[in-house]
Structures are given as structure tokens and as C-alpha cells.
């Protein structure tokens, strides 16, 4: 499986902004979010979310339609579509 590519664009005492590019057939790898965060989709698409227990769900992204999650979320994010998915992750530092 292909790996997601990340590019940290801003990293201050208050916030970290990372652009993520998830190629077709790619995955982020299992991870736990250590900070509250906002996702801003740059492209529309559908991601498959895999929980630590293996439970799968889908998340539909709409370009420019942001969403917020609290710290502690644990998952792997897969792109099981034929097109690249791009989003910004804005982590709010304590």
C-alpha cells in the first residue's frame, strides 16, 4: 500500500498546519491524534477509516467543508478510490 505524503506548512507555538496527500490506494498508517484538530478538505473524495479494532467506516469529504475532532482519535485512513485525496490538518496546540 502506498504511503500518504505530508508537508508541514505552519508550525508555531499555537498551531501546526500540515497538507496531506493520500494517493489512490494509499494509507496514512495507524496513528493517534495527540491534539484537537480541524480537517479542511482540498479535494472531494471518500476515505475509509479503520479503527484499532478493525471496524471500518467511510468519511465523505467535500472540498472546503471542514470538520473538527478532539485529541485521542485513533485510526488508519485509507484511500480506496482511484483519485488522490488532499486535505489540510490543523492541529491546535495546548
pLDDT at 55: 97
Report field, pTM of the whole predicted structure over 0.85: yes
Please, what's the largest Cα pairwise distance for the chain? Answer: 37
Q: What pLDDT, on the 0 to 100 scale, is given for residue 1?
A: 74
Mean pLDDT for all residues in the chain: 97
Question: Domains of the chain, with CATH numbers?
Answer: 2-92 (2.60.120.10)
Burial class (CB in 10 A: 0-12, 13-18, 19+), 72: exposed
Counting residues of the chain whose pLDDT is more than 70, the rounded percentage is: 100
Amino acid at each position: 500500500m502506498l504511503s500518504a505524503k505530508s508537508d508541514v506548512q505552519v508550525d508555531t507555538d499555537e498551531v501546526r498546519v500540515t497538507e496531506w496527500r493520500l494517493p489512490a490506494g494509499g494509507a496514512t498508517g495507524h496513528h493517534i491524534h495527540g491534539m484537537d484538530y480541524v480537517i479542511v478538505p482540498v479535494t472531494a473524495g471518500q476515505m475509509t477509516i479503520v479503527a484499532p479494532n478493525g471496524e471500518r467506516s467511510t468519511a465523505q469529504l467535500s472540498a472546503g467543508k471542514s470538520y473538527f475532532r478532539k485529541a485521542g482519535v485513533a485510526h488508519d485512513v485509507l484511500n480506496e478510490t482511484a483519485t488522490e485525496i488532499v486535505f489540510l490538518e490543523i492541529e491546535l496546540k495546548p
